[in-house]
């Protein structure tokens, strides 16, 4: 069975040097974390802008944030210079329209937290508003929303159902690493994969893990 090559997004990038390492091994997009109310890897807007300005325009620059105020999201996207907003929480329909109007060159990506099968309906609704979805393993319910989820996968069967149901590109995230990404892609058939802790050692992007991650993807028949 033929599986198309998947795009790779490496998240939690912390410096221009890490960005160049990720790109050198084949990443198509980078994730930059800002204002996550306790989430890991947060960066000031000035640092994000420095990273973005060091990259060619063809690179996907995803600003991951839990901010839900449309005015603040517009300001952050403009300050950081990113080409994609990755929204942790859902917004009111009018706010998605506002972002479209004020940020016509910026793509919108919605995180879908795959806790159970309610994620399928959430994905269907979100797909009407955004350009792509990221499926992760986080529990969005307070007080657990910022509980460490590093290395934790979710039910890939639900993720596969989402991929088969929505008409938007889907990136699979949540506990991916060099040891499981091949099985994950075969199971879910996503457009792309999104990895953070799986290619880091401590707080540092680990070249050996990045290499192993891409090597695992190359094992998939294309």
What share of the chain has pLDDT > 90, as a percent? 85
Residue range 10-24, pLDDT digits in tens: 999 999 999 999 999
Residue range 196-219, pLDDT digits in tens: 999 999 889 999 999 999 999 998
- The Cα–Cα gap between 222 and 218 comes to 9
Q: Domain tally for the chain?
A: 1
Q: Per mean pLDDT, which range of 2-6, 65-69, 105-109, 140-144 is the poorest?
A: 140-144
Residue 83 has pLDDT above 70, yes or no: yes
Record the tokens describing residue 27, joined without a space. 């990443």
Domain that holds residue 175: 7-218
| Global confidence as pTM | 0.93
What is the dihedral angle through the alpha carbons of 43, 133, 123, 216, rounded to the nearest 10 degrees? -100
Residue 135 has pLDDT above 80, yes or no: yes
For Cα atoms 161, 87, 187, give the angle at the middle one, nearest 5 degrees.
Answer: 25
Q: What is the pLDDT of residue 37?
A: 65
Give the distance, in angstroms, between the CA of residue 187 and the centroid of all CA atoms in the same chain: 19
Q: What is the pLDDT of residue 5?
A: 82
Q: What is the pLDDT of residue 144?
A: 47
Q: Residue 36: inside a domain, yes or no?
A: yes
Q: Residue 1: inside a domain, yes or no?
A: no
Residue 141 has pLDDT above 90, yes or no: no
Residue 1 has pLDDT above 60, yes or no: no
Q: Residue 2: inside a domain, yes or no?
A: no
**Phi and psi for 64 in degrees, rounded to 5?**
-90, 120
Q: Residue 185: inside a domain, yes or no?
A: yes
Q: What is the pLDDT of residue 38?
A: 56
Verify cis geometry, omega within 30 degrees of 0, for the bond prior to 143. yes
**Contact criterion met (CB below 8 Å) for 222 and 3:** yes
Q: Residue 198: inside a domain, yes or no?
A: yes
Residue range 43-63, pLDDT digits in tens: 999 999 999 999 999 999 999
CATH of the domain at 188: 3.20.20.70
Q: What is the pLDDT of residue 36?
A: 84
**Contact criterion met (CB below 8 Å) for 131 and 108:** yes
Record the tokens describing residue 168, joined without a space. 């938007």
At 147, the pLDDT band (50, 70, 90 cuts) reads low
């Amino acid at each position: 069975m033929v599986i198309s090559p998947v795009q790779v997004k490496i998240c939690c990038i912390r410096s221009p040097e890490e960005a160049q390492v990720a790109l050198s091994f084949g990443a198509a997009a980078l994730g930059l974390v800002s204002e996550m109310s306790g989430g890991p890897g947060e960066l000031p807007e000035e640092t994000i802008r420095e990273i973005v300005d060091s990259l060619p325009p063809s690179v996907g620059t995803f600003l991951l944030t839990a901010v839900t105020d449309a005015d603040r999201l517009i300001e952050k996207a403009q300050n950081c210079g990113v080409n994609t907003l990755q929204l942790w929480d859902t917004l009111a329909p009018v706010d998605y329209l506002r972002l479209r109007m004020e940020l016509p060159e910026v793509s919108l990506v919605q995180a879908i937290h795959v806790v159970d099968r309610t994620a399928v309906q959430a994905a269907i609704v979100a797909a009407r508003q955004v350009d792509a979805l990221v499926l992760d393993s986080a529990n969005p319910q307070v007080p657990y929303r910022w509980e460490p989820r590093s290395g934790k996968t979710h039910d890939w069967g639900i993720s596969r159902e989402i991929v088969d149901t929505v008409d938007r590109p889907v990136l699979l995230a949540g506990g991916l690493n060099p040891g499981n990404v091949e099985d994950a892609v075969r199971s879910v058939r996503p457009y792309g994969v999104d990895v953070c802790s799986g290619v880091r050692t401590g707080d540092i992007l680990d070249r050996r893990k990045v290499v192993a991650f891409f090597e695992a993807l190359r094992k998939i028949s294309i």
